[in-house]
Amino acid sequence: MVKPMHLAIAGNIGVGKTYAAAVLSQAFSFEATYEDDRENPFLQDFYEDMVRWAFPMQIFLLNRRLEATLAIQRSGKPHIQDRTLYEDAEVFAPVLMEMQILPEREYEVYRALYEKIASLIRPPDLLIYLRASVPVLVDQILARGRPYEENISLEYLRRLNTAYEAWFQRYDRGPKIAISMDELHGREDAAGRLVDIVARQIFSLF
């Protein structure tokens, strides 16, 4: 029996993961699993005081994304996932530690837990990494107008972009593709071009 395909979208804050998940799930008739920031009890506190809330924020997200990944794998249906389990540990947590927001000993505890969890789950059949320049990220963050994102600094976005690029280069858990959202930004045919890029990659897997 062939297992249902699991596509996972990765990318920085404001890059367009939810948009891409909606477009691709409709195009391929996949179920979609979205991040719902309204269900995150730490998000507002984190952006107001990152040092105080970084560790509980990371633990909460790790648990929530584990639950989402397991639900997808148990569903028996093809899925596209908005955000992966890997990104917080491979991108966000190291950046927070480098910025002296997440203490090293808390990071080590979190990292050890993540490594155990990551070893127990099946990776996605295709990782779709959406990349964008900081100006495009800022444009899209402002356009969606979420109050808790008003305090996000340009330096934080820049560091995340750098960390994302490094993580994508070393990602070896399965097939992967990178898509430039700068090239699609503002285009009327953005959805069609996105579907075409991903469809060609999926077909190449068979």
82 catalytic residue (yes or no): yes
Token pair for residue 140?
Answer: 């899209």
Q: Is the dihedral of CA 19, 34, 76, 120 positive or negative?
A: positive
Q: In Å, what is the CA distance from 183 to each residue of 31, 61, 74, 145, 186? A: 27, 30, 36, 23, 9
The residue count of the chain comes to 206
Say which residues have a Cβ less than 8 Å from residue 164's Cβ, sequence separation at least 6. 10, 11, 12, 87, 91, 129, 131
Q: Which residue in 36, 82, 189, 196 is the catalytic one?
A: 82
| SS3 label, residue 129 | strand
Q: In Å, what is the CA distance from 42 to each residue of 49, 54, 56, 149, 187? A: 10, 9, 8, 13, 35
CB 10 within 8 A of CB 87: yes
CB 141 within 8 A of CB 14: yes
Residues taking part in catalysis: 82
